[in-house]
Each structure stands twice: as structure tokens, then as C-alpha cells.
Structure 1
Amino acid sequence: MTDDQTSDSETQTETEAEDAGELPARVVEEAERLTRRAREAVDEAERAGALRARDRLLAGRGFTARLRNEDNREVLVLYPAEWVTDGTVQPGRIDDLGRGVERPLSGAGEDDWASVDTHNRDLARTVERAHGEIHGANAQALADFAGNHYGKRIERLTGTELRLFLEEYYPRNVWPTDDQKAVVEESVRLVFEQTDESVSSWRRR
């Protein structure tokens, strides 16, 4: 693939994300970078400047940022601004959970996002080589979901998170073909077969 083709593909991906009301990956990465810069700043002016730059970047896309502490780690949460009032998420305004993005910033044993993304996409490519393009496309969608929305390796997704992928994120954000939709659950299992983990049950009990 040439550089021009790669650029065209990235542009198309960004356009699709924007059409779905999502943040393009490069915007998420820049928001994370600016947040980390603010956390590491020793000068208050530098910290404030990084946060202002991040907030302007997100506001231009109709999003807002906040930090959440959970399980001894700090998580950057990027949500559509219309979901939030005075810093509090209003559940009744959430139209599509797949639009939100969460990135862990700290915590023992956490992988950085770049290594998580590489790992997940390697899994997806392995599935495509072994089982064909249809399963490969579904695996890539799962890689997008796991990395961009949870900052997790695919095999660490919980049953609840897998159900969210299958029931909400996949039909609303992936634009799958009929062939892809017919085998998506099998595709998820094939991804997990490439890891040392058992797939978590996403069935409602």
C-alpha cells in the first residue's frame, strides 16, 4: 500500500467516525497526550495550557473530558458534551455508548495504549490470515472497540463489555455486511482462540 493509499484510508476512517458522532483516533490520541502532559507538568502554567489545548480540541468536536478514578488507576473519559451537565453524566441523554472513549492513564500492570492497539490488531490480522476477510473485518472492529473505548487487550474484555460490543457498538458503528453480521459471534470466539484466555460469556442470564 502506498503512502497516498494509507492517507486516503485514514481519511475515510476519520470521516466515518465523524459521521457516527465519534472521535477520530488521532483526536483521542492527542487528547490523551495533552492530558498526560498536564499530569506530568511541574509548572502550573504549563499544566493549565495543556488542559486548555485539550479542551479546545475536544470542544471543536462536541466532546468534553473528565478523569475518573477506579481500581487504583486514573482513567481519561471522553464523552459527547450533550451527555454532561455540570461535570455529571446524565444517563438519560446517552444515545449510543459506543461514542464514549475511555483511556487508562495509570495503574499497576496497565499497558500503554500503543502496545494495546498493536497487540489487538495483530490478533485481528492473525484471524484474517487463518479464517478469511469476513472474520478479519469483525476482528478489526473488536480491536477498535477494545482499544479505543476501554484501552484493553481484547482478551481482557469482560462478558458485559463483549455484550456491549455485540448489541450496541457493532450494529451502530461498524456498518457490517450481511455476511459479517451472520458470523460476528463466531469471529469473537476465533479472536479469543488466538489468546491464552477463554472468551467471557456475553449471554444475558
Structure 2
Amino acid sequence: MATFPQTLINTCLIKIALNPECHRYCIPPALKKRLDALRAFFKACAGIVDVNKILFHSDGSIDVEQSLISNASVKLLVYVIEQDLDIDRKAMFDRLSVEEKLEFRELAKKDREGLLRICWNLLVGYRYSFSSRTFLDTMQLCSALDASQTFLSVLDSIQNFRLEWLVTLLQCLPRKSSKRFVMAVIMFIERTLS
């Protein structure tokens, strides 16, 4: 679906969504759903998104991914990583200034959990070797932190993946894996086979 800048209707809906005292009752029923979506978006991304850079689909719904990418900042990139959102992190990272990239690198170095460090490595082009201990440790850390998007990014970074490694890959999954991890492995297998 194509992405468009704000129309007058969308601009008005944004202003209404940002005003908690504005009642929904004065809004036509057809626009209430869009208003609710905007309010949910602002609630999730409060203070880290520039409302003037929000993009919309032709049907009036928010293009969340493109809106977040166009608002790229270190704070927003960290938010996307920590919330495990399915957003193109590389596109966000590429939009950062040199100073912001250095700021993100410093945050990654200080990260106690290690998730930002893993993402930093992936964003600067680090490729994992399936047989290395670092790969297995990284996969287990992603599983422990319930970071399925980072898990999938690590899988995508494997050099020369072979189908016989699938059994070991499946053993990396925690016993009580969420559907997101299972889907990440299935998506990776589909991309590998095609």
C-alpha cells in the first residue's frame, strides 16, 4: 500500500487524538476507528514521535513502520528494539546522524542485558557463524529476553547456512517458546529454502 503525507482530515484527527479533553462523541462514526488507532499509536510512542512526520495509507490508516522510520532517533530505535517491534531497524539506523549512531553505540556498550549490543553488531554488518559459541549464546540471550525480531535478525545474519543445521537451530529455542519464536524460525526456513 502506498504511503501519503497528512491530509487535512488526518491533521485534524491528530490534533483531536492529542487532546485528552476532546470527546469522541462529536466525531462521525466512520472516523472513530481511525481516531482510536491514532490515540493508541500516541500512547505507545508518547514523546518520541514528531506528529508532523506521521504517514498514512491511502485508506487513512497509519503507516506505523514508515512513520517510525521517518521519525528515526536513538530513543525511538531503542524503543523499537526493547518492545520487539517488527520494524526495519536497519532503515531506522541508516537515517540516524553520525552523532546519533555513536550515541547508540555507547548505549549498546553499557547495556547490561546485551540486547542493544547484539542489535548494534547486526546493524553495522556483523555476520554470525553457526558453529561458533557466540552464536549459541546470542540465540539463548534473545530467547531469554523474548526478543523474537532480534532472534530472526541473528538468523538472517548466519553465513552459509546449511539445512542440516536445522536440528541444532530448533534446539536453541526454549522449551516453552512463544509463537513468535516458532514463527521466526519458520520464516527463516522459508526464506532459506526459496
Same fold judged by TM-score > 0.5?
A: no
* TM-score normalised by the chain length of structure 2: 0.28
Greater C-alpha Rg = 2
* Higher relative strand content: 1
